[in-house]
Amino acid sequence: MTELDTIDRAIINALQGDFPLCPAPFAAAAAPLGLSEGELLERLRALRDAGTLSRFGPLYQIERLGGAFCLAAMAVPEADFERVAGIVNGFAEVAHNYRRDHRLNMWFVLATETPAEIAATCAAIEAASGLPVLPFAKEREYFVDLRLQA
């Protein structure tokens, strides 16, 4: 990861919420930062390419759009962890994947277009990895307004 300059830090701090909803949102977001729309887009692209940002985009309540989220876990033998992580991360439905110090040492979030696709994706991951996937349905929604200062 590269060192952030003052402008990159300002961009990260400013764009973690309340993104403008207007015909030219990047131009509107760039103005308070003293940047042009093109400069902002180029810096965001560079931050993504460097791995500083893993994603930049909106968060949706997928259930309101007919989709589903699911937290899933796997018990992966340590010697096989990287291979299985590569398989799991290769699925477009995998939003996040975390290593944990626990018998269930791989946890990931599935996001699918329909609730039925959760089971199908778990089955596909099981078939590809040779290991069982334990899906945990969401029981209630938590809204955490996490903002990280760069």
Average pLDDT over residues 81-106: 94
The DSSP line for 35-101 is: --HHHHHHHHHHHHHTTS-S--S----GGGGT-EEEEEEE---GGGHHHHHHHHHTSTTEEEEEE-S
68 and 112 share one domain: yes
Residue at 16 is within a domain: yes
66 and 45 share one domain: no
Q: How confident is the model at residue 117 (pLDDT cuts 50, 70, 90)?
A: very high
Which range of residues forms the domain containing residue 107?
Answer: 62-136
Please state, rounded to an integer, the average pLDDT across all residues of the chain.
Answer: 90
107 and 130 share one domain: yes
Looking at the chain, the whole-number percentage of residues with pLDDT higher than 90 is: 68
Q: Per-residue pLDDT for 149 more than 80?
A: no
Average pLDDT over residues 86-102: 93
Looking at the structure of the chain, the number of domains it has is: 2
Place of tokens 């060192």: 3
Task: Please name every residue paired with 74 in a beta bridge, in sequence order, or none if there are none.
Answer: 106
Q: How confident is the model at residue 2 (pLDDT cuts 50, 70, 90)?
A: low
24 and 75 share one domain: no
φ, ψ (nearest 5 deg) of residue 64: -70, -20
Whole-number pLDDT of residue 58: 77
71 and 98 share one domain: yes
Tally the residues of the chain.
150
74 and 123 share one domain: yes
Residue at 1 is within a domain: no
16 and 69 share one domain: no
98 and 120 share one domain: yes
Residue at 143 is within a domain: no
* pTM, to two decimals: 0.65
- Greatest Cα-to-Cα distance within the chain, rounded to the nearest angstrom: 52
Instruction: Count other C-beta atoms under 10 Å from residue 121's C-beta.
Output: 22
Contacts of 147 (CB under 8 A, 6+ apart): 13, 16, 17
71 and 37 share one domain: no
Average pLDDT over residues 77-84: 97
